[in-house]
């Protein structure tokens, strides 16, 4: 009996925290999404009305516009665009930097500088992006002027056709350091004997990279892919600080729409905010389950 109870006693504090800060809020949010609200007061059961209202909004899915017309396309499509552009760029740059800096003397110092983007709070990152893309003080426009393209200078986050891409490329700068560190750890786990055997057999550098490095980095790639996509789906702070979803909702995302429904809409609507949170959770959970299953099958 004591052997069975002792492990449970050690788990009890963690279970209390898990139930209090994860399970209960999740269940409460889902239940809230099925209620109708007048301000902060519930007026009864609403069924799927909150979900229908959310999915019919142009701020969530804007069916009247196309990719050719440009933003705003709706928060859901903006999240998808963020994933499609940000994930491959961050992973590619992270892998490239990890490989190039592996044998460089003092490479750890360069990695530390690159990783600073992950160390700073995301709110500070959003403020930095506002300055980076500023027409007069921004480093992006300074570089354009230096190479003779000063006519292109503008405040990139102030125009609907460039604001979303500006934030996405800025998030690549912030997140690349994470991918680089994960890939660097993966590279350290590859036995040097494999490289030596490949060189003895006459393999070129590209062949070694393709047939040894890339396959051996699959666990690191899966980790980077999962963490990057999940970060993109729940992106909030950078958008909130840099553009607040503007201009003209051109950069709004699901997490920001949830926040606006709860704290800025008059009257506030906890039901639709909870519906957005539930949809975002389902999307994130579906992707996470899929990635875990893929990883387990490949093992």
Tell me the average pLDDT of the chain.
87
- Burial per residue of 45-77, b for 16 or more beta-carbon CB atoms within 10 angstroms, e otherwise: ebeebbbeebeebebbebeeeeeeeebbbbbbb
Cis peptide, bond prior to residue 247, ω within 30 of zero: yes
C-alpha to C-alpha distance for 55 and 36, rounded to whole angstroms: 16
pLDDT at residue number 1: 62
Q: What's the number of CA atoms in the CB half-sphere (13 Å) around residue 154? A: 11
Cross-strand bridge partners of residue 44: 36
Beta bridge partners of 35: 45
Mean pLDDT of 66-78: 79
- Please give the Cα distance from 262 to 256 (Å, whole number): 10
Whichever domain contains 160, its CATH number is 1.10.3720.10
Position 268 scores a pLDDT of 79
Domain count along the chain: 1
- pLDDT for the residue numbered 67: 64
What token pair was written down for 277?
């949170």
pTM (predicted TM-score): 0.88
In 10 A of CB 110, how many CB atoms?
Answer: 14
What phi, psi does 188 have (nearest 5°)? -65, -20
Does residue 143 fall inside a structural domain?
A: yes
Q: Which of 49, 48, 108, 29 is nearest to 270 (CA)?
A: 29
Is residue 245, in this structure, part of any structural domain at all? yes
Whether 171 is in a domain gets the answer yes
Q: Is residue 87 part of a domain?
A: yes
Provide the total of helices (H) and of strands (E) in the chain, helices listed first.
16, 2
Say if 119 falls within a structural domain.
yes
Domain that holds residue 210: 33-298
pLDDT of residue 118: 83
Please check whether residue 241 is in contact with residue 127, taking contact to mean a CB–CB distance below 8 angstroms.
Answer: yes
pLDDT the model gives residue 89 = 94
252 neighbors 78 (Cβ within 8 angstroms): yes
Residue 224 falls within a domain, yes or no?
yes
Q: Is 90 exposed, middle or buried (0-12, 13-18, 19+ CB in 10 A)?
A: buried
- Is there a domain that residue 9 lies in? no
Per-residue pLDDT at 109 exceeds 90: no
Share of the chain above pLDDT 70, in %: 97
- The span from the CA of 164 to the CA of 77, in Å, is 11
E strands, the chain, in order = 35-38, 41-45
All residues at 6 or more sequence positions from 234 whose CB lies less than 8 Å from its CB, including other chains: 255, 280, 284
pLDDT in tens, 13-41: 888 999 999 899 999 999 999 988 887 78
Exposed (0-12), middle (13-18) or buried (19+): which is 102, by Cβ within 10 Å?
A: middle
Rounded Cα–Cα distance for residues 138 and 141 (Å): 6
In a domain, 48, yes or no: yes
Question: 37 or 85: whose pLDDT is higher?
Answer: 85
**pLDDT at residue 86, as a whole number:** 94
């Amino acid at each position: 009996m004591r052997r069975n109870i002792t492990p449970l006693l050690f788990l009890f504090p963690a279970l209390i925290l898990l139930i209090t800060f994860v399970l209960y809020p999740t269940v409460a949010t889902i239940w809230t999404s099925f209620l109708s609200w007048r301000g902060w007061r519930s007026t009864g059961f609403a069924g799927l009305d909150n979900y229908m209202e959310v999915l019919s909004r142009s701020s969530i899915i804007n069916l009247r516009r196309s990719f050719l017309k440009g933003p705003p396309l709706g928060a859901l499509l903006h999240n998808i665009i963020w994933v499609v552009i940000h994930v491959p760029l961050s992973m590619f740059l992270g892998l490239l930097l990890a490989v190039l800096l592996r044998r460089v003397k003092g490479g750890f110092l360069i990695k530390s500088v690159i990783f600073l983007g992950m160390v700073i709070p995301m709110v500070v990152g959003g403020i930095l992006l506002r300055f980076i893309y500023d027409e007069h003080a921004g480093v992006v426009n300074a570089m354009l002027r230096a190479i003779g393209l000063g006519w292109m200078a503008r405040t990139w986050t102030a125009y609907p056709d460039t604001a979303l891409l500006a934030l996405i490329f800025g998030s690549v700068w912030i997140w690349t350091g994470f991918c680089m560190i994960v890939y660097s750890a993966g590279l350290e786990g590859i036995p040097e004997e494999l490289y030596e055997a490949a060189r003895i057999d006459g393999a070129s550098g590209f062949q070694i990279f393709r047939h040894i490095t890339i396959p051996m980095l699959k666990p690191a790639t899966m980790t980077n892919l999962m963490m990057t996509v999940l970060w993109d789906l729940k992106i909030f702070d950078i958008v909130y600080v840099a553009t607040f979803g503007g201009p003209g909702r051109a950069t709004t995302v699901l997490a920001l729409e949830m926040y606006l429904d709860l704290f800025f809409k008059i009257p506030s609507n906890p039901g639709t905010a909870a519906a957005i949170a539930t949809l975002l959770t389902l999307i994130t959970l579906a992707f996470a389950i899929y990635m875990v299953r893929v990883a387990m099958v490949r093992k």
